[in-house]
Amino acid sequence: MKDTNVLISAGADINKSLELLGDMNMYDEVLNDFLNLIDEKIANLNKYKSINDMANYAIDVHSLKSDVRYLGFMKVGDLAYELELLSKANDIAGVSAKHDNLMIEVSKIVSACKKYLYGKDDSKTDETIINEILSTPSEMDPMSQAIIYQGTVTTEKKAQSSSKQGVILIVDDSSVVANFIKKVFEKDYDVIIYSDGSGVIDYCANDEKRAKVKACLLDLNMPNVDGFEVLDFFKANNYFVKLPVVVISGVENIDTIERAKSYPIVEVLAKPFNERDCEMALHKCLALYD
């Protein structure tokens, strides 16, 4: 049996996380998703910081903030939020002052999560951690290099069964958030995930595919093509008439939420949200569009 005290000792508020994720089975699945992609996210953040690319740094640290908060690591989430604000303000000195501390705290989380989930004790000293996570980009594999220079790779998870009730599109660069929503709906719907807006624009440009969409859950803060570019595309092509859109946004972004509401969207899902919030948003979509 897994020992949640390992996570609690590392700062996780398990009870708060379960208010969102429901039970430990879902928690473990989401945690596994987090561990699968965290090395890539750390590499991206280190690269963007090293070349002073604050725009892309802000996007990835925003995603990291969402990930760790869903897992209950609220203090690390708060630190990531500080860095998000600094990078959005193009405060390079401020980001440099706090970045290494964030990387150390994230690596401690990763070590604890691996010990909890896989029984592996990856405990390291702060000095070892910082030396590892600040390794030069030349040590990374070609795919990681491509991800860093070109932004998040868009991956489409193909719909598998035509017997389901329709398609739900999830557009979010946070794998933790996207896979959590997928698990809520995949029993009854074909769920397709995109990590930025380019894929969903291509998908919805196809009339036959677009007609099957029951809801598009769209994050606003993403690399490459962001949520507002998607909203603009939908508006320009009059897709809102038959395409229900639910916007995903951080609760801190009040101005962003107000801007999103200027489009004919169905609902705003403010992070962090739970399974019931997702289901209620879908019900609104079905009530208005079916």
Residue 189 has pLDDT above 80, yes or no: yes
Six token digits for residue 284:
């609104």
b/e 82-106 (16+ beta carbons within 10 angstroms → b): bbbebbbeeeeebbeeebbebbbbb
Question: What is the overall mean pLDDT for the chain?
Answer: 85
Give dist(CA 114, CA 154) in Å, integer. 27
Six token digits for residue 99:
């970045």
Rg (CA), the chain: 19
Give dist(CA 82, CA 246) in Å, integer. 27
Each residue of 119-171: pLDDT tens digit?
865 545 445 555 555 554 434 443 333 333 333 334 444 444 457 889 999 99
Give dist(CA 180, CA 173) in Å, integer. 13
Alpha helices by DSSP H, the chain = 5-9, 14-21, 24-50, 54-70, 74-88, 92-118, 126-133, 142-150, 175-185, 197-204, 207-210, 227-236, 254-260, 275-289
Mean pLDDT of 178-192: 93
The whole-number pLDDT of residue 158 equals 47
Each residue of 204-263: pLDDT tens digit?
999 999 999 999 999 988 888 889 999 999 999 999 999 999 999 876 668 888 899 999
Each residue of 77-90: pLDDT tens digit?
999 999 999 999 99
Which residues are 237's β-sheet partners? none
Percent of the chain with pLDDT over 70: 84
Which residue bears the tokens 């958030």? 177
Give dist(CA 187, CA 185) in Å, integer. 6
Each residue of 269-281: pLDDT tens digit?
988 899 999 999 9
Asked, as a colleague might, if the bond just before 272 is cis with ω within 30 of 0, I would say yes
Each residue of 19-37: pLDDT tens digit?
888 899 999 999 998 999 8
The whole-number pLDDT of residue 164 equals 80
**Cross-sheet strand order for the sheet of 213-219:** 190-194, 167-171, 213-219, 245-250, 267-271
3-state secondary structure of 162: coil
The whole-number pLDDT of residue 67 equals 92
Which residues are 217's β-sheet partners? 170, 246
Domains of the chain from N-terminus onward: 5-150 (no CATH), 167-289 (3.40.50.2300)
Give dist(CA 255, CA 56) in Å, integer. 20
| Terminal alpha carbon distance of the chain | 45
The whole-number pLDDT of residue 41 equals 92
Amino acid letter at 73?
F
Percent of the chain with pLDDT over 90: 65
The whole-number pLDDT of residue 94 equals 96
Report pTM: 0.77
Query: What interhelical angle do 24-50 and 175-185 show, nearest 10?
Result: 150
